[in-house]
Structure formats: structure tokens, C-alpha cells
Amino acid sequence: MLSLSERMARLIVHGATPYNAEPPLGRLRASYRTPAADFYVRSHGELPDLETETWRLTVEGGVTLELSLDDLRTRFPRATVTATMQCAGNRRADLRAVAPVSGDPWQAGAIGTAEWTGFRLGDLLRMADVAEGVDRHVAFESHDTVDGRPYGVSIPFAKAMSSETLLAYAMNGEALLPEHGFPVRAVVPGYAGVRSPKWLRRITVQDHPSENPIQAGDYKLYPPNVTAETADPVLGHTIDAMPLNAAICEPARGAVLRAGACRVRGYAVAGDRSVIRVDVSGDGGRTWIQATLEHEPDAPFAWTFWTAELDLPPGEHDLAVRAWDSAGQTQPALPDDVWNHKGYLCTCWHRVRVRVT
């Protein structure tokens, strides 16, 4: 197995502490289930160093529970979900063409898909005998710290009880790597990665969202006229469910190609909907052809891979992609159409400039 530093060397590293990195897009597109060593890493603090033997999960808000990893593995039915995880800041770099944005300049690789194995969060909450309700929230607290406080977020109770929402101890059949949340993380399919905390420590069922700054202040979607100075987190939209998006993984930006048939490949993702069509353009969006789609059966929260073949004459060309979801919605064309000062949810057409000789 590769060491952490060897794994870091495989990725495009935006920062070492906190460790934030994404794979090159060609490697990301090589496998429908992203190998753990190629999976993007988003951290907000130092990687915690946890031991299986001493780690415990505390559950509060009903009957208080304190459970070991062995308890979790043996006391709940095993559950598996193939789901895409993505950062709310995926593709942020494209927004910088409009105006500066805060945060790491993620390309289109802050996304990956894995087969997550663990057990249903709903089974744990039922064991804790927590009170249900539409106004209730399930708060997570983790072992990593941000500005001296534990990382913390929450999700609506109904999403926590949904059959797709897991606490996972394995990824693609192997124990979680340290940077992916060892020993146990949440997996909240269809939601932004921020709501799937790693290195879990405590779960609390309560009648309000988490008051942790990660939940209450960060990961909010603001209108384009709001700035860092004027942003009021109470008015921002809490980013939970993720929008329709698509990216070209091959060829890479700046590639030099021979004239003729050009195979274009990428991914598309539609949250809790399905991707019904992917349009690919060789002329910046003036004309489009339809890609062939490849989707895992019975994986409603996983991405769709797509492939198209363009016939490209010599010259400079802007390739572009846009997806359509099962409600007939599609993506806006321009970065300016989705720009916000925090650089979240960049869903405009993904463009790749190539030179054909």
C-alpha cells in the first residue's frame, strides 16, 4: 500500500495542512469507482491520528450510546451504497475568470465515486430511540479541529433516516484511509461533501441545525451582489443537495491533438435526479452532439460517465459540455451566470481549449 506521502504525490495538492488535493482528470475518468488513493481530499484541519481500539462514537439526543468500532460492525446490518461525493467548491477555478473568489482553486477533480460500506445511520438513530420530527436535525462532530473547535455540521432528520445515508467504515472494500475519515465517516449521498464528516466522534439529534461555524457560517450560497463584507450567513442558502454538473476529463486543457476524430470523455452528476442527456460541443457551444452514457445500475446517487467523438479540423477549439437532468433542467452557459464570492456550485458549461494540428 502506498504511504500518505506517496499518495499525495499522485494528486494535485492545493495545500498540505490542511491537506487538500484532487486527482488529474484523466486518472479520475479511468475508473467508475474512484480508487481511494485517487480520491480528492478536503480537510479543514490536521489529519487526526485515531486508533481502532480506543475510538468510540457517542450518540446523544435519545438514549445515550457509546459504541466501539467493533460494536458498529456487529450490531447493525451491513449496508453498501455506490455514491458520488463532491466538494461544494468543485470547479471553483473556473469562476476566477469573472472576479476573485475565496478558497482553494479546485479544478473539476474535487469529486469521486466509491462503494461505501458500513451501516444505515437510521438504524443507529432507531437504536438510540431519538424523537423524530420534520424540524429536527442530526448534528455530527468530528476529531479534526478548525480554529480550535471540533469540525461540526448537521443534516435534516429526514435525510439522516433515508436508506442511502450511511456511516461507513470501508471504501471500495477496504478500510478507510486516514485522509478519508478512518475509522468511520458519514456518507450522505447527493449532498455536498461538507455534510459527510470524516473521523466521527459524536452524533446528536436536536431541534436546530448545528451551531458550529462550519454549518452556521460557511458553505452558504450567496447572490452575485453579495461580498465578503456584506454576506449575512442567515440569509445565505445552506448548501445541502448538490446541483447538476458535468466536466470534460479528456482531452486535458491545452492538449495538442491531431485533426480528425477526437474522443471526448467525462462525467456528469445530477444529485437525486438522473442524467438523461449529455451534449458535447467542438465549437464552444454553437453546435452539439450527444454523448453515450454509462451509468451503474441501482446507483441513483452515483455519477454518469459519458463518451463522445468529435471531428475536429485544425485550429484552436473550445470543447464544451452540458448535461440535462430528469426534470429537463440544464446548466447555464457562463461562469458569470453562477458566480458568487465564495466560489461554490460552479455549474456552468465546462470548457476545454485544445489545439488541433
Binding site for its own copies (CB under 8 A): 221, 223-225, 237, 239-244, 271-273, 276-277, 279, 287-290, 324-334, 337-338, 344-345, 347
Nearest to 83 by CA among 184, 1, 163, 181: 163
Q: 211 or 337: whose CB is closer to its own copies?
A: 337
Q: 137 or 180: whose CB is closer to its own copies?
A: 137
Give min distance, CB of 119 to its own copies, in A. Answer: 25
Handedness of CA 9, 27, 240, 104 (dihedral sign): positive
C-alpha grid cell, residue 315: 485550429
Phi–psi pair at 213, nearest 5 degrees: -55, -30
Please check whether residue 106 is in contact with residue 90, taking contact to mean a CB–CB distance below 8 angstroms: yes
* CA 116 and chain centroid, separation: 14
Give min distance, CB of 230 to its own copies, in A. Answer: 12
- Rounded distance, CA 156 to CA 135, Å? 8
Nearest to 187 by CA among 79, 296, 317: 79
Nearest to 270 by CA among 251, 293, 238: 293
The DSSP symbol for 110 reads: S
Give min distance, CB of 207 to its own copies, in A. Answer: 19
Q: 69 or 264: whose CB is closer to its own copies?
A: 264
- Rounded distance, CA 115 to CA 299, Å? 10
Give min distance, CB of 134 to its own copies, in A. Answer: 11
Q: 179 or 240: whose CB is closer to its own copies?
A: 240
Give min distance, CB of 109 to its own copies, in A. Answer: 20
Give min distance, CB of 333 to its own copies, in A. Answer: 6
- Rounded distance, CA 311 to CA 262, Å? 6
- Could you tell me the CA-to-CA distances from 305 to 28, 222, 316 in Å, in that order? 11, 30, 26
- At residue 7, the 3 state secondary structure works out as helix
- Rounded distance, CA 305 to CA 112, Å? 12
Phi–psi pair at 75, nearest 5 degrees: -95, -5
Give min distance, CB of 173 to its own copies, in A. Answer: 27
Give min distance, CB of 2 to its own copies, in A. Answer: 35
Q: 14 or 277: whose CB is closer to its own copies?
A: 277
Q: 183 or 335: whose CB is closer to its own copies?
A: 335
Q: Can you list the positions of beta strands (E) in 30-110?
A: 56-60, 65-68, 79-86
Q: 106 or 182: whose CB is closer to its own copies?
A: 106
